[in-house]
Amino acid sequence: MLSDAHTKPDFDLDGLIDRLPKVELHVHLEGTLEPELAFRLAARNGVVLPFTTVDEMRARYDFADLQAFLDIYYAACSVLVTREDFRELTLDYLRRADADHVRHVEPFFDPQTHTDRGISIGDVIGGILDGLADGEREFGITSGLILSFLRHLPAEAASATLADAEPWLDRIVAVGLDSSEVGYPPEPFAAVFAAARARGLRAVAHAGEEADASLVARTLDCLGVSRIDHGVRAADDPAVMRRLAEDGVTLTACPLSNLRLRVVPALARSTIGTLLGAGVAVTINSDDPAYFGGYIGENYRRIVAALGFGAADVARLATNAINGSFASADRKRELLAELAGVAGGAAGAE
Ligand code: ADE
Ligand code: ZN
């Protein structure tokens, strides 16, 4: 994966990454809750966090695995109570995204994490949509919201959530599937995904983060997804990699998440280079940036440095994100033109 530009010692790869018009396809809004905002919302809502200071909260972010992270992530969500809280959470993320030159984002939210605590789904979705509208006005960042089901809960609960979200479905672009991966297969969710697709929504799902490549194949078989979230373990099986490449399935990889959740022991061991080399449409994203040590720009910088990527690889990753998004054809054309302006000949449209 060493392209020419990488071999020129004075080529400003970090400058290119900074200026790159980015599209983020894998970020959980709940995973953008920085400790400072968590403490501010806790005080406002009379919620007691299991930490006494911001520093103590951050010091707990040493995760043995995905489940250890999810336990803290769900606990921290208890500070999100009002519609205004969800608006501020969303706008706070978009402010950081703007600093990283994100131009379009398709964030996840997990309604069940909140409705199961007695929060109204209208306040959750309404607050997030308010924040996305504010962010588009303030920063010009366009978006498509993804309603994600929790796979550790029964599929019937996902169906009930889809029904509860009906009044807002025309403002939601896709459904997703996340939470604990091992032991929670995709097949029970086939019916709710089919119902969502019949309703005109697109579909994506987490797979191949902790579980192996066979889960990626099964997810493609049963959920009708256009993208696989993470999917980095697909590289363990050449047949699955070939299928992803041939079917044009976008992978939303999250390098710092994989490092912090010990999916890989070091970024240099990431499979992203193998997948890209096999023709898979890999993209770079942040997942839960408040917890994993960096937003999308940092994810680009760190993986590019670790794998020795060059300018053409960076442009390929950014192009994949534009083409793999659910933005309109017009918006994709705009973003590809912006990218060509920054990356020149290194950027190629589909
Ligand atoms: N929910 C939030 N972050 C997640 C991740 N990395 N994997 C699965 N579910 C999640
Ligand atoms: Zn995720």
Spatial separation of the C-alpha atoms in residues 182 and 163, rounded to whole Å: 27
DSSP class of residue 27 equals B
pLDDT of residue 69: 97
Q: How confident is the model at residue 6 (pLDDT cuts 50, 70, 90)?
A: very low
Helices 35-45 and 83-99 cross at an angle (nearest 10°) of 160
Q: Is the dihedral of CA 201, 123, 68, 294 positive or negative?
A: positive
Task: Name the CA radius of gyration of the chain, rounded.
Answer: 19
Q: What is the pLDDT of residues 83-126, one digit of tens each?
A: 999 999 999 999 999 999 999 999 999 999 999 999 999 999 99
- Residue 31: CB within 6 Å of ligand 1? yes
Q: For residue 78, how far is its CA from the centre of ligand 2 (angstroms)?
A: 19
> Whose atoms come closest to the Cα of 150: which ligand?
1
Domain boundaries, the chain: 4-339
Nearest CA to ligand 1 atom 8: 179
- Residue 26: CB within 6 Å of ligand 1? no
Q: How far apart are the first and last CA of the chain?
A: 20
- Per the annotation, the verdict on 209 as an active-site residue is yes
> Whose atoms come closest to the Cα of 179: which ligand?
1
Spatial separation of the C-alpha atoms in residues 127 and 78, rounded to whole Å: 16
- Residue 113: CB within 6 Å of ligand 1? no
Catalytic residue among 209, 298, 334, 350, which? Answer: 209
> Whose atoms come closest to the Cα of 69: which ligand?
1
Torsion angle in degrees (nearest 10) through CA of 239, 241, 245, 247 = 60
Alpha helix (H) residue ranges in the chain: 4-7, 13-19, 35-45, 54-59, 66-76, 83-99, 111-115, 121-139, 155-164, 190-198, 213-223, 238-247, 255-260, 272-277, 289-292, 296-307, 311-324, 329-343
Residues 6+ apart with CB under 8 A from 191: 155, 159
CATH classification (class only), 4-339: alpha beta
User: Which atom of ligand 1 is nearest the CA belonging to 148?
Assistant: 1
Spatial separation of the C-alpha atoms in residues 105 and 26, rounded to whole Å: 8
Nearest CA to ligand 1 atom 4: 179
pLDDT of residue 327: 98
Q: What is the pLDDT of residues 121-142, one digit of tens each?
A: 999 999 999 999 999 999 999 9
Question: Residue 179: in which H helix or E strand, if any?
Answer: none
pLDDT of residue 350: 42
Q: What is the pTM of this model?
A: 0.96
Residues 6+ apart with CB under 8 A from 306: 255, 266, 267, 268, 270
Task: Give the number of other Cβ atoms within 10 Å of residue 121's Cβ.
Answer: 18
Task: Give the number of other Cβ atoms within 10 Å of residue 43's Cβ.
Answer: 11
Spatial separation of the C-alpha atoms in residues 30 and 34, rounded to whole Å: 9
